[in-house]
Structure 1
């Protein structure tokens, strides 16, 4: 009898371990369509399983979305046409289904968007204040992870580690990162350019992990109800273009990226347009003889995560320029046109009101205190 009991116990443990091994490890939300009425539910499992999302406006789900085949990294796009509601969802099926989770549908009266920078070098930051802002969308200004070669966090594991730091935030808030150099760093940089490339310019791991619009390394996303467009570029460490330290796609006047941005700006009719980079604006202006800034000035604002501080500058032509960083204790590379500057951990909160002729951009510290406010008027047609 004791032997049979021990054998049964061992078999139960094996079965339990196998089941646990197959369970969902992390969940995050993104957009891969330029359409806020659709959202992508992403998750990872330890072994290949079907990709199933059950969802609805209550925990008794009345909708389901699937993709074909088995996967360990799942990306399932679902339709969320209703607004100002709370969506409930679960990923997986049967014994592998997760507990009920929720996220907000996009609003009709007030839209709140947070933008953070340099998350990769701000581990352990208390984001309670950002969470209290109850944002509808979370965007970054690059450098989401420290590298792609840290032991145990190689490649996509680096982005998985980011999700694991704030599981509830990513499970309940759409996340749209842009690229920084650290998001592509596949080898240690070293003191001088080595024979082999240090960065994966094509951002393979980032594109495999996140489901984003367009080419993913560059994208745009619109929220029509609030007349706003966000445009993400791949611009960082431009002084290294042409050697094995190069991190970003080409940025010259004939480059795919610049032509795309110029043409997109030429077709952009939104009242509010935010351009996102991960480089010092003055360096970019000097290196490209102002061709990018000619286009940026058609935007409502230019936002970067280049420096470890909070800064607002007012560039020629009335273009506001913001530098935001969750790690605010770095060297103060102050812009010549700076109107506000503070060495403090910070993020940006963008607030839009339905039909309003202006919106606000606020710098907030991680205590939730407002450090600076800039009102931005709608662009003229």
Structure 2
């Protein structure tokens, strides 16, 4: 009996000692793509270390002292056109060695998705075949209230679940996230309408994802491809000032509009993509047309609000909507030049030598191209 107990204790100790880290994702926090943040969660608190290199032998490491279960470690990306290998460690907990592609020097592919909503049934096979260097979520990556028994602003379990739905993809491709209303919703519909339904500050979202700037709004650059991405906080704007208000103020005197205008005016990039979680037609009307005016200084705008694929041309500016959920019945733009009910994603391909950006709306089920348009650099 004593020997059996000792054997059991040794087995339990061994399982703890080699506990494997499975939930890993990558984002960018610095203002450009010269660094990347490796993030992971552990069952027990500990320090944070990433070992990395351009071969399975790794060779370099960055360590952050302290004890935590949610880990963010930023590492440099010194080389292009290579495959990086990495492993994360926290105390006795460690991951396998995983890989991700370093950024390309010639052709850059960015896949844009929306409305993942922590849904494990979504099939991203077509996206994986495109081998994107970067993923962007244009809103509603998770449903923060999904597992909450009370209004917990710092809850991150739904974000964790969203990562688990595409675990291999998210640990091999960096993910830049743009806010949607469900990413900060802290009470399900039907509860007291006298209390806020959303955490305007997006506390749990900003805790879970390491993003640039204020995180609820951000700007981020890929200098080699003359590209700037700008994410603003616009979702369900019709509920502003009500208990179901889902975003920061967006009027012409608001903090974010002033930031957006200043950011756009200071942008020298040849390609500028603006992202938001509201319909393009609604955004164009806000701030007395100010949003339309400032967005028009960029290249294109992307929304993840509605459940269909759409391209709209207004005064020489292109507005897109796409969603990994299809057959939507709301938010169709009467000015749309193209529309399709298919569940879709958007693939942006930048050709450095040609100086072009090709935007394709693609069907999620098989990757077929639904709509395509090529952009040249804007006048600076």
TM-score by length of 2: 0.95
In structure 2, what is the equivalent of residue 159 of structure 1?
A: 159
Kindly indicate whether residue 224 of structure 2 is the aligned counterpart of residue 225 of structure 1. Answer: yes
Q: Secondary structure at the match of 2:164?
A: helix
Q: Secondary structure at the match of 1:289?
A: helix
In structure 2, what is the equivalent of residue 36 of structure 1?
A: 33
- Post-superposition Cα deviations, 1:66-109, rounded to whole Å, max 9, x if no partner, equal 11212111100001111100000000067522211101111101
Q: List gaps (5 residues or longer) in structure 2.
A: none
Tell me by how many angstroms 1:35 deviates: 1.8
Please give the residue correspondences for 1:245-256 in structure 2 after superposition, counting only pairs within 5 Å.
245-256=244-255
Q: Is the 8 A contact 1:189 1:245 kept in 2?
A: no
Q: Is the 8 A contact 1:32 1:39 kept in 2?
A: yes
In structure 2, what is the equivalent of residue 49 of structure 1?
A: 46
Tell me by how many angstroms 1:212 deviates: 0.4
Whole-angstrom CA distance in 1 between matches of 2:144 and 2:347: 27
In structure 1, what is the equivalent of residue 81 of structure 2?
A: 84
Whole-angstrom CA distance in 2 between matches of 1:355 and 1:223: 15
Whole-angstrom CA distance in 2 between matches of 1:105 and 1:337: 39
Tell me by how many angstroms 1:364 deviates: 0.6
Greater shift, 69-78 or 278-287, is seen at: 278-287
Tell me by how many angstroms 1:171 deviates: 0.5
How many residue pairs match? The answer is: 376
Whole-angstrom CA distance in 2 between matches of 1:339 and 1:285: 17
- Post-superposition Cα deviations, 1:189-248, rounded to whole Å, max 9, x if no partner, equal 228x71111100000000000000000111111001110100001100111111111110
Q: Is the 8 A contact 1:122 1:326 kept in 2?
A: no
In structure 1, what is the equivalent of residue 181 of structure 2?
A: 181
Greater shift, 252-261 or 147-156, is seen at: 147-156
Q: Is the 8 A contact 2:118 2:165 kept in 1?
A: no
Tell me by how many angstroms 1:375 deviates: 1.1
- Distance verdict in 2 for CA 1:243–1:332, change over 3 Å: closer
Please give the residue correspondences for 1:3-22 in structure 2 after superposition, counting only pairs within 5 Å.
3-19=1-17
Q: Which portions of structure 1, spanning 4 or more consecutive aligned residues, are displaced by more than 4 angstroms?
A: 151-154
Q: Is the 8 A contact 2:118 2:159 kept in 1?
A: no
In structure 2, what is the equivalent of residue 169 of structure 1?
A: 169
Q: Is the 8 A contact 1:118 1:327 kept in 2?
A: yes
Q: Secondary structure at the match of 1:292?
A: helix
Whole-angstrom CA distance in 1 between matches of 2:120 and 2:322: 16
Whole-angstrom CA distance in 1 between matches of 2:92 and 2:118: 37
TM-score by length of 1: 0.95
In structure 2, what is the equivalent of residue 283 of structure 1?
A: 282
Kindly indicate whether residue 364 of structure 2 is the aligned counterpart of residue 355 of structure 1. Answer: no
Whole-angstrom CA distance in 1 between matches of 2:39 and 2:149: 21
- Post-superposition Cα deviations, 1:134-167, rounded to whole Å, max 9, x if no partner, equal 0000001101113424358972000000111111
Q: List gaps (5 residues or longer) in structure 1.
A: none
Q: Secondary structure at the match of 2:224?
A: helix
Q: Secondary structure at the match of 1:294?
A: helix
